[in-house]
Amino acid sequence: MRKLLVLFMAFAIMLCALAPVSADDTYEVRLSAPNGAPALSVAVLAAEKPEDYTFVAAETIAAEFANKTADFIIAPVNAGAKLFKAGKSDYKLAAVVTWGNLYIASQKADFTLEDINGAVITLFGENTINASVVLYALAENGLEPASVEYLAGAANTQSLLLTDENAIVVTAEPALTAAKMKNENITSYAVNDLLKAASGMDGYTQAGLFIGSDIIANHAEAAAEYLVKAEESANMAQTDTAAVVDAAVALEIMPNAKVAAAAIPNCAIRFMNAADAREQVEATANIDLSQFGGSLPADDFYYEAK
């Protein structure tokens, strides 16, 4: 009997050795993201396997949808929605990962939000959802600048903030924290606070994690496993900031640990799967439907793991 048991076990081990390995057991998920605050949501994962992650300039992230070389893409939610609506992308929204990292700032003495009334305010990213959210939040809170000017990006408005003591600008984290470390006279106010006062929204759906059709069709198990890991990674921005700081500095997403440690808690990073975030996506879209292609995203824009 003992001999039969040994033979049976040996036969079972042999069968396991001969059994084909599931494709998902060895499949390496690839992700592309803009090299900035949204990338912080996956920084811990990227630091472990940097060869599977591509970080690009924010203004070029749309090309990743056309290239289809990445299984997942982090990008502005509205940009992904517009491309999907236009038939130029088959990437679905899997989750929202950032909820607004914009701040109104000035080094004016005793600067308050009321100083915006009748003044010039400089935003970045004309005709973007970020600008639309800022203008909506200002208007709904009764703040009326004399004029609105635009620069290309947050780094540009950060530079103006540092060089013009009378400037009122909209910039973003981590640029704001870096500026404050150079000039302690800078005062800032979160756009999300204005948005909440105006609408009750707890931030807006700024950046999302998009999933490609190929991995859905061919590596569904790997996709599901990655989404679990991505949620854990994003949540570490709140639960284990030190780990995210180390990863962000190693990947050169952040300039140094001091800036990273101060800025990450202000980047509004949190993971919410697409089905749960739909109401917030639609609330953001209704601020400026033109940024979402003229209408709310259709049902099939939202990915839900089976």
For the chain, the domain total comes to 2
Helix runs in the chain, H state only:
2-18, 23-26, 43-48, 62-67, 77-85, 129-140, 154-163, 175-182, 191-199, 213-218, 220-239, 241-250, 257-263, 274-285
pLDDT at 2: 41
Q: Is 79 part of any domain?
A: yes
Q: Letter for the amino acid at 204?
A: Y
Nearest 10 degrees: CA dihedral of 287, 59, 265, 158?
Answer: -90
pLDDT at 263: 95
For the chain, list residues with pLDDT below 50. Answer: 1-23
Same domain for 95 and 107, yes or no, is no
Q: Is 135 part of any domain?
A: yes
Q: Is 61 part of any domain?
A: yes
Q: Letter for the amino acid at 301?
A: F
pLDDT at 15: 36
Nearest 10 degrees: CA dihedral of 253, 35, 120, 109?
Answer: -10
Instruction: Kindly report whether the global pTM for this prediction surpasses the value 0.95.
Output: no
Same domain for 141 and 278, yes or no, is no
**What is the per-residue pLDDT across 145-165, written as a single tens digit (0 to 9) for each?**
999 999 999 999 999 999 999
Query: Which residue range forms the structural domain that includes residue 195?
Result: 102-199
CA-closest candidate to residue 263, choices 198, 202, 173: 173
Same domain for 108 and 194, yes or no, is yes
Domain harbouring 289, CATH code: 3.40.190.10
Same domain for 54 and 133, yes or no, is no
pLDDT at 165: 96
